[in-house]
Chains A and B, each alone.
Chain A
Protein backbone atom coordinates (compact mmCIF):
# COMPACT_ATOMS: atom_id res chain seq x y z
CA UNK A 1 0.00 0.00 0.00
CA UNK A 2 2.84 2.35 0.91
CA UNK A 3 4.39 1.42 -2.42
CA UNK A 4 1.29 2.30 -4.46
CA UNK A 5 1.02 5.58 -2.65
CA UNK A 6 4.65 6.32 -3.47
CA UNK A 7 4.24 5.52 -7.18
CA UNK A 8 1.12 7.66 -7.35
CA UNK A 9 2.82 10.68 -5.80
CA UNK A 10 5.87 10.40 -8.03
CA UNK A 11 3.75 10.01 -11.16
CA UNK A 12 1.48 12.98 -10.57
CA UNK A 13 4.40 15.25 -9.70
CA UNK A 14 6.06 14.11 -12.92
CA UNK A 15 2.99 15.02 -14.96
CA UNK A 16 2.80 18.46 -13.40
CA UNK A 17 6.49 19.06 -14.02
CA UNK A 18 6.56 18.75 -17.79
CA UNK A 19 3.00 19.53 -18.70
CA UNK A 20 3.59 20.83 -22.20
CA UNK A 21 5.56 17.83 -23.39
CA UNK A 22 3.03 15.57 -21.70
CA UNK A 23 0.30 17.37 -23.62
CA UNK A 24 2.16 16.83 -26.92
CA UNK A 25 2.52 13.15 -26.11
CA UNK A 26 -1.15 12.85 -25.19
CA UNK A 27 -2.40 14.56 -28.35
CA UNK A 28 -0.12 12.57 -30.65
CA UNK A 29 -1.26 9.32 -29.04
CA UNK A 30 -4.83 10.53 -29.44
CA UNK A 31 -4.46 11.20 -33.17
CA UNK A 32 -2.54 7.99 -33.75
CA UNK A 33 -5.11 5.85 -31.97
CA UNK A 34 -7.98 7.71 -33.64
CA UNK A 35 -6.55 6.86 -37.06
CA UNK A 36 -5.83 3.31 -35.96
CA UNK A 37 -9.44 3.01 -34.80
CA UNK A 38 -10.72 4.47 -38.09
CA UNK A 39 -8.70 1.93 -40.05
CA UNK A 40 -10.15 -0.88 -37.97
CA UNK A 41 -13.70 0.43 -38.40
CA UNK A 42 -13.34 0.89 -42.17
CA UNK A 43 -12.06 -2.64 -42.39
CA UNK A 44 -15.02 -3.86 -40.36
CA UNK A 45 -17.43 -1.90 -42.57
CA UNK A 46 -15.95 -3.42 -45.72
CA UNK A 47 -16.21 -6.90 -44.25
CA UNK A 48 -19.87 -6.63 -43.30
CA UNK A 49 -20.65 -5.17 -46.73
CA UNK A 50 -18.93 -8.10 -48.43
CA UNK A 51 -20.72 -10.54 -46.14
CA UNK A 52 -24.14 -9.11 -46.83
CA UNK A 53 -23.89 -8.64 -50.58
CA UNK A 54 -22.54 -12.09 -51.26
CA UNK A 55 -24.91 -13.70 -48.80
CA UNK A 56 -21.87 -15.77 -47.91
CA UNK A 57 -21.87 -17.37 -51.33
CA UNK A 58 -18.52 -17.67 -52.94
CA UNK A 59 -19.41 -19.09 -56.36
CA UNK A 60 -22.66 -18.70 -58.32
CA UNK A 61 -23.34 -21.06 -61.20
CA UNK A 62 -26.10 -19.57 -63.38
CA UNK A 63 -28.15 -22.17 -65.22
CA UNK A 64 -29.43 -21.80 -68.75
CA UNK A 65 -33.17 -21.92 -69.45
CA UNK A 66 -35.05 -24.10 -69.30
CA UNK A 67 -33.77 -25.67 -66.10
CA UNK A 68 -33.60 -29.46 -66.17
CA UNK A 69 -34.00 -31.04 -62.71
CA UNK A 70 -31.98 -34.11 -63.63
CA UNK A 71 -29.20 -31.93 -64.91
CA UNK A 72 -29.22 -29.94 -61.68
CA UNK A 73 -28.92 -33.16 -59.67
CA UNK A 74 -25.97 -34.40 -61.70
CA UNK A 75 -24.23 -31.01 -61.51
CA UNK A 76 -24.71 -31.05 -57.76
CA UNK A 77 -23.19 -34.53 -57.63
CA UNK A 78 -20.18 -33.46 -59.69
CA UNK A 79 -19.61 -30.46 -57.45
CA UNK A 80 -20.03 -32.33 -54.18
CA UNK A 81 -17.40 -34.80 -55.35
CA UNK A 82 -14.82 -32.04 -55.12
CA UNK A 83 -13.15 -31.97 -51.70
CA UNK A 84 -13.06 -28.16 -51.60
CA UNK A 85 -16.82 -27.78 -51.97
CA UNK A 86 -18.58 -27.31 -48.65
CA UNK A 87 -22.24 -26.88 -49.68
CA UNK A 88 -24.27 -26.61 -52.86
CA UNK A 89 -27.66 -24.89 -52.75
CA UNK A 90 -30.16 -24.61 -55.55
CA UNK A 91 -31.88 -21.24 -55.97
CA UNK A 92 -34.84 -21.20 -58.35
CA UNK A 93 -36.14 -18.22 -60.28
CA UNK A 94 -38.66 -17.24 -57.60
CA UNK A 95 -36.03 -17.28 -54.84
CA UNK A 96 -33.67 -15.27 -57.03
CA UNK A 97 -36.42 -12.69 -57.50
CA UNK A 98 -37.03 -12.45 -53.76
CA UNK A 99 -33.37 -11.85 -53.09
CA UNK A 100 -33.34 -9.23 -55.83
CA UNK A 101 -36.31 -7.50 -54.26
CA UNK A 102 -34.55 -7.56 -50.95
CA UNK A 103 -31.33 -6.13 -52.31
CA UNK A 104 -33.04 -3.26 -54.16
CA UNK A 105 -35.81 -2.62 -51.64
CA UNK A 106 -35.18 1.09 -51.95
CA UNK A 107 -35.61 1.23 -55.73
CA UNK A 108 -39.20 0.23 -56.24
CA UNK A 109 -39.30 1.16 -59.96
CA UNK A 110 -36.42 -1.15 -60.67
CA UNK A 111 -38.03 -4.07 -58.86
CA UNK A 112 -41.40 -3.42 -60.49
CA UNK A 113 -39.88 -3.53 -63.92
CA UNK A 114 -38.20 -6.88 -63.52
CA UNK A 115 -40.04 -10.06 -64.39
CA UNK A 116 -39.23 -12.99 -62.05
CA UNK A 117 -38.74 -15.12 -65.20
CA UNK A 118 -35.87 -12.85 -66.32
CA UNK A 119 -33.68 -13.83 -63.42
CA UNK A 120 -31.68 -17.03 -63.86
CA UNK A 121 -31.84 -19.95 -61.47
CA UNK A 122 -28.49 -20.80 -59.96
CA UNK A 123 -26.46 -23.21 -57.90
CA UNK A 124 -24.80 -21.39 -55.04
CA UNK A 125 -21.61 -23.09 -54.03
CA UNK A 126 -19.75 -22.49 -50.82
CA UNK A 127 -16.08 -23.45 -50.81
CA UNK A 128 -14.11 -24.58 -47.83
CA UNK A 129 -11.03 -23.12 -49.50
CA UNK A 130 -12.19 -20.15 -51.60
CA UNK A 131 -8.75 -19.56 -53.10
CA UNK A 132 -8.95 -22.96 -54.90
CA UNK A 133 -11.92 -21.76 -56.92
CA UNK A 134 -10.16 -22.70 -60.18
CA UNK A 135 -10.87 -26.38 -59.49
CA UNK A 136 -14.61 -25.69 -59.74
CA UNK A 137 -14.14 -23.84 -63.01
CA UNK A 138 -12.08 -26.75 -64.38
CA UNK A 139 -14.59 -29.49 -63.54
CA UNK A 140 -17.35 -27.62 -65.38
CA UNK A 141 -15.07 -26.78 -68.33
CA UNK A 142 -15.33 -23.05 -67.80
CA UNK A 143 -13.19 -20.42 -69.52
CA UNK A 144 -12.94 -16.76 -68.57
CA UNK A 145 -15.37 -14.83 -70.76
CA UNK A 146 -18.20 -12.34 -70.76
CA UNK A 147 -19.87 -11.87 -67.35
CA UNK A 148 -17.51 -14.13 -65.47
CA UNK A 149 -16.76 -17.59 -66.82
CA UNK A 150 -18.43 -19.22 -69.83
CA UNK A 151 -18.90 -22.91 -69.24
CA UNK A 152 -18.92 -26.00 -71.47
CA UNK A 153 -20.92 -28.22 -69.08
CA UNK A 154 -24.51 -28.81 -70.29
CA UNK A 155 -27.18 -26.55 -68.84
CA UNK A 156 -24.64 -24.10 -67.37
CA UNK A 157 -24.73 -20.56 -68.65
CA UNK A 158 -22.03 -18.71 -66.71
CA UNK A 159 -20.09 -19.08 -63.52
CA UNK A 160 -19.26 -16.13 -61.29
CA UNK A 161 -16.71 -16.16 -58.54
CA UNK A 162 -18.37 -13.49 -56.43
CA UNK A 163 -15.37 -13.24 -54.23
CA UNK A 164 -13.20 -12.20 -57.15
CA UNK A 165 -15.82 -9.69 -58.29
CA UNK A 166 -16.14 -8.20 -54.82
CA UNK A 167 -12.39 -8.19 -54.36
CA UNK A 168 -12.15 -5.86 -57.30
CA UNK A 169 -15.05 -3.79 -56.03
CA UNK A 170 -13.49 -3.32 -52.66
CA UNK A 171 -9.89 -2.99 -53.80
CA UNK A 172 -10.22 0.78 -53.63
CA UNK A 173 -11.58 0.62 -50.11
CA UNK A 174 -8.72 -1.68 -49.18
CA UNK A 175 -6.12 0.77 -50.48
CA UNK A 176 -7.81 3.46 -48.45
CA UNK A 177 -7.80 1.24 -45.38
CA UNK A 178 -4.12 0.39 -45.79
CA UNK A 179 -3.36 4.08 -46.24
CA UNK A 180 -5.13 5.00 -43.01
CA UNK A 181 -3.41 2.13 -41.25
CA UNK A 182 0.01 3.29 -42.44
CA UNK A 183 -0.64 6.84 -41.28
CA UNK A 184 -1.81 5.40 -37.96
CA UNK A 185 1.42 3.43 -37.60
CA UNK A 186 3.53 6.49 -38.38
CA UNK A 187 1.54 8.44 -35.81
CA UNK A 188 1.90 5.66 -33.24
CA UNK A 189 5.66 5.70 -33.75
CA UNK A 190 5.81 9.47 -33.30
CA UNK A 191 3.64 9.16 -30.22
CA UNK A 192 6.13 6.61 -28.89
CA UNK A 193 9.01 8.97 -29.64
CA UNK A 194 7.26 11.81 -27.83
CA UNK A 195 6.47 9.67 -24.83
CA UNK A 196 10.06 8.40 -24.79
CA UNK A 197 11.09 12.04 -24.84
CA UNK A 198 8.93 13.02 -21.87
CA UNK A 199 10.32 10.09 -19.96
CA UNK A 200 13.88 11.04 -20.87
CA UNK A 201 13.36 14.70 -20.01
CA UNK A 202 11.85 13.70 -16.71
CA UNK A 203 14.82 11.50 -15.96
CA UNK A 204 17.25 14.20 -17.02
CA UNK A 205 15.56 16.88 -14.94
CA UNK A 206 15.71 14.57 -11.97
CA UNK A 207 19.13 12.99 -12.47
CA UNK A 208 20.43 14.46 -9.23
CA UNK A 209 17.46 13.10 -7.29
CA UNK A 210 17.88 9.76 -9.02
CA UNK A 211 21.51 9.69 -7.92
CA UNK A 212 20.41 10.27 -4.34
CA UNK A 213 17.71 7.61 -4.58
CA UNK A 214 20.28 5.10 -5.78
CA UNK A 215 22.58 6.11 -2.97
CA UNK A 216 20.06 5.14 -0.33
CA UNK A 217 19.54 1.81 -2.08
CA UNK A 218 16.54 2.35 -4.34
CA UNK A 219 16.35 -0.33 -7.01
CA UNK A 220 16.30 0.65 -10.67
CA UNK A 221 12.67 -0.43 -10.94
CA UNK A 222 11.56 1.70 -8.04
CA UNK A 223 13.04 4.69 -9.83
CA UNK A 224 11.74 3.72 -13.27
CA UNK A 225 8.19 2.67 -12.48
CA UNK A 226 6.86 6.19 -11.76
CA UNK A 227 8.23 7.29 -15.14
CA UNK A 228 6.71 4.25 -16.85
CA UNK A 229 3.36 4.92 -15.22
CA UNK A 230 3.61 8.55 -16.32
CA UNK A 231 4.00 7.46 -19.95
CA UNK A 232 1.25 4.90 -19.55
CA UNK A 233 -1.04 7.52 -18.12
CA UNK A 234 -0.39 9.90 -21.02
CA UNK A 235 -1.07 7.29 -23.67
CA UNK A 236 -4.20 6.03 -21.90
CA UNK A 237 -5.65 9.54 -21.77
CA UNK A 238 -4.99 9.73 -25.52
CA UNK A 239 -6.62 6.33 -26.03
CA UNK A 240 -9.75 7.20 -24.06
CA UNK A 241 -10.11 10.47 -25.99
CA UNK A 242 -9.73 8.56 -29.28
CA UNK A 243 -12.41 6.05 -28.24
CA UNK A 244 -14.85 8.79 -27.29
CA UNK A 245 -14.26 10.61 -30.59
CA UNK A 246 -14.75 7.40 -32.56
CA UNK A 247 -18.11 6.86 -30.89
CA UNK A 248 -19.02 10.48 -31.60
CA UNK A 249 -18.03 10.08 -35.27
CA UNK A 250 -20.08 6.93 -35.56
CA UNK A 251 -23.13 8.66 -34.10
CA UNK A 252 -22.62 11.78 -36.23
CA UNK A 253 -21.96 10.14 -39.61
CA UNK A 254 -23.15 6.54 -39.62
CA UNK A 255 -26.44 6.97 -37.75
CA UNK A 256 -27.91 9.38 -40.39
CA UNK A 257 -26.78 6.96 -43.12
CA UNK A 258 -28.58 4.17 -41.32
CA UNK A 259 -31.87 5.97 -42.04
CA UNK A 260 -31.19 7.15 -45.58
CA UNK A 261 -29.12 4.34 -47.12
CA UNK A 262 -30.84 1.27 -45.78
CA UNK A 263 -29.80 -1.37 -48.29
CA UNK A 264 -26.18 -1.17 -47.15
CA UNK A 265 -25.45 -2.65 -43.73
CA UNK A 266 -23.66 -0.18 -41.51
CA UNK A 267 -21.45 -0.74 -38.49
CA UNK A 268 -23.24 -0.61 -35.16
CA UNK A 269 -22.14 0.49 -31.69
CA UNK A 270 -21.05 -3.04 -30.91
CA UNK A 271 -18.49 -2.87 -33.73
CA UNK A 272 -17.00 0.29 -32.21
CA UNK A 273 -17.02 -1.37 -28.80
CA UNK A 274 -15.17 -4.34 -30.25
CA UNK A 275 -12.14 -2.25 -31.22
CA UNK A 276 -11.85 -0.60 -27.79
CA UNK A 277 -9.58 -3.33 -26.36
CA UNK A 278 -7.34 -3.04 -29.42
CA UNK A 279 -6.95 0.69 -28.99
CA UNK A 280 -6.20 0.33 -25.28
CA UNK A 281 -3.74 -2.46 -26.03
CA UNK A 282 -1.99 -0.35 -28.69
CA UNK A 283 -1.83 2.57 -26.26
CA UNK A 284 -0.32 0.47 -23.48
CA UNK A 285 2.16 -1.16 -25.86
CA UNK A 286 3.31 2.20 -27.22
CA UNK A 287 3.76 3.60 -23.72
CA UNK A 288 5.73 0.63 -22.42
CA UNK A 289 8.02 0.41 -25.45
CA UNK A 290 8.52 4.17 -25.35
CA UNK A 291 9.20 4.15 -21.63
CA UNK A 292 11.77 1.37 -21.86
CA UNK A 293 13.50 3.02 -24.83
CA UNK A 294 13.41 6.40 -23.08
CA UNK A 295 15.21 5.18 -20.00
CA UNK A 296 17.57 2.70 -21.58
CA UNK A 297 20.47 5.08 -21.20
CA UNK A 298 19.68 5.66 -17.57
CA UNK A 299 19.85 2.02 -16.51
CA UNK A 300 22.97 2.62 -14.45
CA UNK A 301 23.75 5.73 -12.47
Chain B
Protein backbone atom coordinates (compact mmCIF):
# COMPACT_ATOMS: atom_id res chain seq x y z
CA UNK B 1 0.00 0.00 0.00
CA UNK B 2 2.86 2.33 0.90
CA UNK B 3 6.41 1.82 -0.24
CA UNK B 4 9.46 4.00 0.23
CA UNK B 5 12.55 3.01 -1.72
CA UNK B 6 15.83 4.62 -0.72
CA UNK B 7 14.18 7.97 -0.10
CA UNK B 8 16.35 10.94 0.78
CA UNK B 9 15.05 14.40 1.54
CA UNK B 10 17.44 17.31 1.85
CA UNK B 11 15.84 20.69 2.53
CA UNK B 12 17.07 23.79 0.76
CA UNK B 13 18.85 24.96 3.90
CA UNK B 14 20.98 21.80 3.84
CA UNK B 15 19.18 19.83 6.56
CA UNK B 16 18.91 16.13 5.77
CA UNK B 17 15.45 15.17 7.04
CA UNK B 18 15.35 11.65 5.60
CA UNK B 19 18.49 9.71 4.75
CA UNK B 20 18.16 6.69 2.45
CA UNK B 21 14.93 5.40 4.03
CA UNK B 22 13.26 2.25 2.72
CA UNK B 23 10.09 0.72 4.12
CA UNK B 24 6.99 -1.20 3.09
CA UNK B 25 3.53 -0.94 4.62
CA UNK B 26 1.01 -3.60 3.63
CA UNK B 27 -2.69 -3.04 3.07
CA UNK B 28 -4.58 -2.94 6.36
CA UNK B 29 -1.53 -2.44 8.55
CA UNK B 30 -1.35 -0.02 11.47
CA UNK B 31 2.13 1.47 11.77
CA UNK B 32 3.56 3.88 14.31
CA UNK B 33 6.43 6.11 13.22
CA UNK B 34 8.24 7.17 16.36
CA UNK B 35 11.28 9.29 17.08
CA UNK B 36 12.36 12.53 18.65
CA UNK B 37 11.38 15.90 17.19
CA UNK B 38 13.33 16.49 13.99
CA UNK B 39 13.86 12.80 13.33
CA UNK B 40 11.96 13.04 10.04
CA UNK B 41 8.45 11.84 10.97
CA UNK B 42 6.60 14.86 9.65
CA UNK B 43 8.76 15.02 6.55
CA UNK B 44 7.73 11.48 5.74
CA UNK B 45 4.04 12.39 6.04
CA UNK B 46 4.57 15.46 3.86
CA UNK B 47 6.27 13.40 1.17
CA UNK B 48 3.48 10.82 1.15
CA UNK B 49 0.98 13.63 0.51
CA UNK B 50 3.26 15.23 -2.06
CA UNK B 51 3.24 18.45 -0.10
CA UNK B 52 6.97 18.25 -0.72
CA UNK B 53 9.17 16.34 -3.19
CA UNK B 54 11.75 13.73 -2.25
CA UNK B 55 15.29 14.65 -3.24
CA UNK B 56 16.07 11.04 -4.18
CA UNK B 57 14.27 7.72 -4.24
CA UNK B 58 10.78 6.46 -5.12
CA UNK B 59 7.57 6.65 -3.12
CA UNK B 60 4.50 4.57 -3.95
CA UNK B 61 1.12 5.18 -2.36
CA UNK B 62 -1.84 3.01 -3.36
CA UNK B 63 0.06 1.83 -6.42
CA UNK B 64 0.93 5.32 -7.65
CA UNK B 65 4.44 6.66 -7.99
CA UNK B 66 4.12 9.89 -6.05
CA UNK B 67 7.25 11.47 -7.51
CA UNK B 68 5.99 11.05 -11.08
CA UNK B 69 2.55 12.47 -10.33
CA UNK B 70 1.80 15.63 -12.33
CA UNK B 71 0.57 18.63 -10.37
CA UNK B 72 -2.99 18.27 -11.55
CA UNK B 73 -3.11 14.62 -10.43
CA UNK B 74 -2.04 15.46 -6.87
CA UNK B 75 -5.62 16.24 -5.69
CA UNK B 76 -6.66 12.76 -6.83
CA UNK B 77 -3.85 11.21 -4.78
CA UNK B 78 -4.98 13.15 -1.73
CA UNK B 79 -8.56 11.99 -2.13
CA UNK B 80 -7.32 8.46 -1.49
CA UNK B 81 -5.52 9.52 1.66
CA UNK B 82 -7.22 10.68 4.82
CA UNK B 83 -5.22 12.99 7.05
CA UNK B 84 -5.38 13.89 10.72
CA UNK B 85 -3.09 16.49 12.27
CA UNK B 86 -2.14 17.72 15.69
CA UNK B 87 -3.80 21.10 15.03
CA UNK B 88 -7.01 19.54 13.60
CA UNK B 89 -6.98 21.78 10.50
CA UNK B 90 -10.69 22.49 10.50
CA UNK B 91 -12.28 25.35 8.55
CA UNK B 92 -13.28 27.80 11.28
CA UNK B 93 -16.06 29.49 9.33
CA UNK B 94 -17.81 26.22 8.59
CA UNK B 95 -19.92 24.06 10.88
CA UNK B 96 -18.99 20.52 11.85
CA UNK B 97 -21.33 19.23 9.16
CA UNK B 98 -19.90 21.55 6.52
CA UNK B 99 -16.34 20.65 7.41
CA UNK B 100 -16.98 16.98 6.85
CA UNK B 101 -19.20 17.64 3.85
CA UNK B 102 -16.40 19.63 2.24
CA UNK B 103 -14.31 16.49 1.73
CA UNK B 104 -17.21 15.02 -0.25
CA UNK B 105 -18.00 18.23 -2.10
CA UNK B 106 -14.50 18.44 -3.55
CA UNK B 107 -14.79 14.99 -5.05
CA UNK B 108 -18.10 15.96 -6.62
CA UNK B 109 -20.54 13.92 -4.50
CA UNK B 110 -24.18 14.94 -4.80
CA UNK B 111 -26.10 16.61 -2.00
CA UNK B 112 -28.04 13.39 -1.41
CA UNK B 113 -24.90 11.39 -0.75
CA UNK B 114 -23.53 14.14 1.49
CA UNK B 115 -26.73 14.43 3.53
CA UNK B 116 -26.67 10.71 4.08
CA UNK B 117 -23.00 10.00 4.73
CA UNK B 118 -21.98 12.98 6.85
CA UNK B 119 -24.41 12.41 9.75
CA UNK B 120 -23.59 8.72 9.53
CA UNK B 121 -19.87 9.20 10.03
CA UNK B 122 -20.38 11.90 12.67
CA UNK B 123 -22.58 9.45 14.58
CA UNK B 124 -19.77 6.92 14.33
CA UNK B 125 -17.29 9.31 16.01
CA UNK B 126 -19.90 10.26 18.60
CA UNK B 127 -20.71 13.78 17.38
CA UNK B 128 -24.13 13.11 15.93
CA UNK B 129 -25.59 15.87 18.10
CA UNK B 130 -23.06 18.59 17.18
CA UNK B 131 -23.63 18.87 13.43
CA UNK B 132 -24.35 22.59 13.53
CA UNK B 133 -21.67 23.67 15.97
CA UNK B 134 -18.60 25.59 14.85
CA UNK B 135 -15.13 24.21 15.58
CA UNK B 136 -14.37 26.84 18.25
CA UNK B 137 -17.40 25.65 20.22
CA UNK B 138 -15.90 22.18 20.58
CA UNK B 139 -13.28 20.70 22.87
CA UNK B 140 -9.94 19.57 21.43
CA UNK B 141 -10.98 15.94 21.52
CA UNK B 142 -14.22 16.74 19.70
CA UNK B 143 -12.40 18.78 17.07
CA UNK B 144 -10.03 15.92 16.46
CA UNK B 145 -12.99 13.60 16.03
CA UNK B 146 -14.45 15.95 13.43
CA UNK B 147 -11.13 15.90 11.67
CA UNK B 148 -11.09 12.12 11.84
CA UNK B 149 -14.63 11.98 10.45
CA UNK B 150 -13.57 14.21 7.57
CA UNK B 151 -10.54 12.00 6.92
CA UNK B 152 -12.67 8.85 6.76
CA UNK B 153 -15.86 10.05 5.13
CA UNK B 154 -14.83 9.20 1.59
CA UNK B 155 -13.42 5.84 2.64
CA UNK B 156 -9.76 6.41 1.86
CA UNK B 157 -7.32 3.54 1.38
CA UNK B 158 -4.74 5.14 3.63
CA UNK B 159 -4.99 7.33 6.70
CA UNK B 160 -2.01 9.43 7.70
CA UNK B 161 -1.99 10.82 11.21
CA UNK B 162 0.66 13.28 12.30
CA UNK B 163 0.69 13.53 16.11
CA UNK B 164 -3.11 13.21 16.27
CA UNK B 165 -3.03 13.12 20.07
CA UNK B 166 -0.37 15.80 20.46
CA UNK B 167 -2.81 18.43 21.74
CA UNK B 168 -5.05 16.13 23.79
CA UNK B 169 -5.06 14.90 27.35
CA UNK B 170 -4.43 11.17 27.95
CA UNK B 171 -8.04 10.05 28.34
CA UNK B 172 -9.15 11.96 25.23
CA UNK B 173 -6.18 10.48 23.40
CA UNK B 174 -7.41 7.02 24.24
CA UNK B 175 -10.81 7.83 22.70
CA UNK B 176 -9.13 8.96 19.51
CA UNK B 177 -6.97 5.82 19.42
CA UNK B 178 -10.08 3.65 19.82
CA UNK B 179 -11.58 5.36 16.80
CA UNK B 180 -8.39 4.92 14.78
CA UNK B 181 -8.36 1.28 15.72
CA UNK B 182 -11.97 0.97 14.53
CA UNK B 183 -11.06 2.62 11.24
CA UNK B 184 -8.12 0.26 10.86
CA UNK B 185 -10.31 -2.78 11.46
CA UNK B 186 -12.51 -1.95 8.49
CA UNK B 187 -9.41 -2.24 6.29
CA UNK B 188 -7.89 1.24 6.20
CA UNK B 189 -4.11 1.31 6.27
CA UNK B 190 -2.93 3.68 8.99
CA UNK B 191 0.42 5.38 9.39
CA UNK B 192 0.69 7.43 12.55
CA UNK B 193 3.62 9.61 13.52
CA UNK B 194 3.75 10.15 17.27
CA UNK B 195 5.91 10.48 20.32
CA UNK B 196 3.15 9.50 22.73
CA UNK B 197 4.83 6.62 24.50
CA UNK B 198 1.82 5.42 26.48
CA UNK B 199 -0.26 5.01 23.37
CA UNK B 200 2.36 3.13 21.40
CA UNK B 201 3.00 0.79 24.29
CA UNK B 202 -0.71 0.15 24.81
CA UNK B 203 -1.54 -0.55 21.16
CA UNK B 204 1.14 -3.10 20.48
CA UNK B 205 1.37 -2.49 16.74
CA UNK B 206 4.23 -2.30 14.29
CA UNK B 207 6.71 0.42 15.28
CA UNK B 208 9.23 2.08 12.99
CA UNK B 209 11.70 4.30 14.77
CA UNK B 210 13.49 7.14 13.03
CA UNK B 211 16.60 8.83 14.27
CA UNK B 212 18.24 11.67 12.39
CA UNK B 213 16.43 10.65 9.24
CA UNK B 214 17.35 6.97 9.33
CA UNK B 215 15.28 3.90 10.22
CA UNK B 216 16.90 2.49 13.35
CA UNK B 217 14.19 0.00 14.29
CA UNK B 218 11.30 -1.77 12.59
CA UNK B 219 9.46 -4.05 14.93
CA UNK B 220 6.17 -5.91 14.68
CA UNK B 221 4.00 -5.56 17.81
CA UNK B 222 6.58 -3.16 19.23
CA UNK B 223 6.78 -0.65 22.05
CA UNK B 224 7.97 2.96 22.05
CA UNK B 225 11.59 2.37 23.01
Chain A residues in the interface with B (C-beta under 8 A) = 1-3, 5-6, 13, 209, 211-220, 222, 300
Contact = CB atoms under 8 A, between A and B. Distances in A.
Contacts of A213: 102, 106
B192 interface: no
Contacts of A13: 93
B105 interface: yes
28 contacts: A1-B110, A1-B111, A2-B105, A2-B109, A3-B108, A5-B111, A6-B105, A13-B93, A209-B91, A212-B91, A213-B102, A213-B106, A214-B75, A214-B78, A215-B49, A215-B78, A215-B83, A215-B89, A216-B102, A216-B103, A217-B77, A217-B79, A217-B103, A217-B107, A219-B75, A220-B71, A222-B106, A300-B71
Nearest to B80: A217
B41 interface: no
B150 interface: yes
B111 A217 contact: no
Interface of B is mostly: helix
B109 A216 contact: no
B90 interface: yes
A65 to B, nearest CB: 82
Nearest to B111: A2
A212 B72 contact: no
Given A209-B91, A300-B71, A216 B111 contact: no
Nearest to A5: B111
Contacts of B103: 216-217
B76 A216 contact: no
B121 to A, nearest CB: 14
Nearest to A218: B106
Contacts of A219: 72, 75, 106
Contact of B106 (A1, A209, A211, A216): A216
A263 B118 CA distance: 73
A217 to B, nearest CB: 4
Contacts of B71: 220, 300
B75 A218 contact: yes
A137 B214 CA distance: 93
A215 B110 CA distance: 20
Nearest to A221: B72
A212 B102 CA distance: 10
A218 B74 CA distance: 9
A214 B90 CA distance: 12
A32 to B, nearest CB: 33
B96 to A, nearest CB: 14
A300 to B, nearest CB: 7
A216 B102 CA distance: 8
A300 B51 CA distance: 9
Contacts of B93: 13, 209
Contacts of A218: 75, 106
A216 B93 CA distance: 17
A217 B108 contact: no
Contacts of B78: 214-217
Interface in B57-108: 71-72, 75-79, 83, 89-91, 93, 102-103, 105-108
A214 to B, nearest CB: 7
Contacts of B79: 216-217
Contacts of A209: 91, 93
Nearest to B102: A216
Contacts of B110: 1-2
Contacts of B77: 217
B107 to A, nearest CB: 6
A2 B113 CA distance: 11
Contacts of A211: 89
A216 B78 CA distance: 6
A5 B102 CA distance: 13
A63 B79 CA distance: 86
B105 A220 contact: no
B97 to A, nearest CB: 14
Contacts of A1: 110-111
A53 to B, nearest CB: 59
A216 B108 CA distance: 12
A211 B108 CA distance: 19
Contacts of B109: 2
Given A215-B83, A220-B72, A220-B75, 18 more contacts: A2-B105, A2-B109, A2-B110, A2-B114, A6-B105, A213-B106, A214-B78, A215-B49, A216-B78, A216-B102, A217-B75, A217-B77, A217-B79, A217-B107, A218-B75, A218-B106, A219-B106, A220-B71
A5 B77 CA distance: 25
Nearest to B156: A217
Those 10 A-B pairs whose CB atoms lie nearest each other, nearest first: A217-B79, A217-B78, A218-B106, A216-B103, A219-B75, A217-B75, A212-B89, A2-B111, A209-B91, A217-B106
